Structure 1
Amino acid sequence: MITPDEIVSALLPMLRTWVAGEYGIAIGGSYAKGSGDSLSDVDIYLFANEVLPAARRDERVVAELGAEARPESWGADDPFVQGGTDFWYAGQRVECWLRSTRAVDRTLRACLGGEVRREYVVWTVMGFLSYAALADVHSMKVVDDPHGTLAGWKAAVATYPEALRQSILGRFMPEAAFWPENFHYRTAVQRADGIYTSAIVQQVLQALIQVVFALNRVYFPGEKRLARAMETLPVQPSGFARRVQELLASAAMDVAGLEKQRRELADLVAEMRGLVSAESS
Structure 2
Amino acid sequence: MSGLILTPTERKAYELAARFAAFSEVTAVALGGSQSSGAADAGSDIDLYIYTRAGIPPNEQAMLIEQSGGAIRVDLGLSYWGGVNVWIDASTGITVDCMYWDVRWIEGEIARVMEAHQPSLGYSTSFCRTVMQSHVLYDPNGWFAALQVRSGREYPEPLRRNIVAQNHPVLRGLITSYLHQIESAVRRQDAVSVNHRVAALLASYFDIIFALNRVLHPGEKRLLAFAQRECAVLPTAMAEDVGCVLTEAGTASGAVVTHIGRLLDRLDEALEAAGFDLGRR
TM-score range, shorter chain: 0.7 to 0.9
Tell me, yes or no, if the aligned pair for 1:176 and 1:204 is still in contact at 8 Å. yes
Tell me, yes or no, if the aligned pair for 2:31 and 2:136 is still in contact at 8 Å. yes
- Structure 1 residue matching 2:117: 3-state secondary structure: coil
How far has the Cα of 1:21 moved from its partner? 4.9
RMSD (CA atoms) = 2.7
Q: Which amino acid aligns with 1:106?
A: G
Q: Which runs of 5+ in 1 are unaligned?
A: 119-125
Tell me, yes or no, if the aligned pair for 1:132 and 1:220 is still in contact at 8 Å. yes
Tell me, yes or no, if the aligned pair for 2:241 and 2:262 is still in contact at 8 Å. no
Normalised by the length of structure 2, the TM-score is: 0.82
Does residue 87 of structure 1 match 2:56?
no
Residue 123 of structure 1 is matched in structure 2 by none
Residue 215 of structure 1 is matched in structure 2 by 212
Tell me, yes or no, if the aligned pair for 2:195 and 2:250 is still in contact at 8 Å. no
Q: Which amino acid aligns with 1:224?
A: K
Alpha-carbon separation, structure 1, partners of 2:77 and 2:213: 35
Does residue 139 of structure 1 match 2:139?
no
Does residue 229 of structure 1 match 2:226?
yes
Q: Which amino acid aligns with 2:241?
A: R
Deviations 1:202-234, CA, capped at 9 Å, x for gaps? 332222111111111111111112221122222
Say if 1:267 and 1:2 are closer, same or farther in 2 by CA, change over 3 A: same
Residue 55 of structure 2 is matched in structure 1 by 51
Say if 1:272 and 1:152 are closer, same or farther in 2 by CA, change over 3 A: same
Residue 19 of structure 2 is matched in structure 1 by 14
Alpha-carbon separation, structure 2, partners of 1:117 and 1:200: 17
- Is the deviation greater in 245-254 or in 46-55? 245-254
Alpha-carbon separation, structure 2, partners of 1:109 and 1:180: 29
Residue 163 of structure 2 is matched in structure 1 by 168
Say if 1:263 and 1:61 are closer, same or farther in 2 by CA, change over 3 A: same
- Structure 2 residue matching 1:74: 3-state secondary structure: strand
Q: Which runs of 5+ in 2 are unaligned?
A: 1-5, 277-281
Residue 109 of structure 1 is matched in structure 2 by 111
Deviations 1:90-122, CA, capped at 9 Å, x for gaps? 22111121111111101110111211346xxxx
Q: Which amino acid aligns with 2:50?
A: L
Alpha-carbon separation, structure 2, partners of 1:117 and 1:265: 22
Alpha-carbon separation, structure 2, partners of 1:188 and 1:73: 38
Aligned pair count reads 262
- What does residue range 123-272 of structure 1 map to in structure 2 within 5 Å? 129=123, 131-158=125-152, 159-178=154-173, 179=177, 182=180, 185-186=182-183, 188-190=185-187, 192-232=189-229, 233-250=231-248, 253=251, 258-272=253-267
Tell me, yes or no, if the aligned pair for 2:198 and 2:249 is still in contact at 8 Å. no
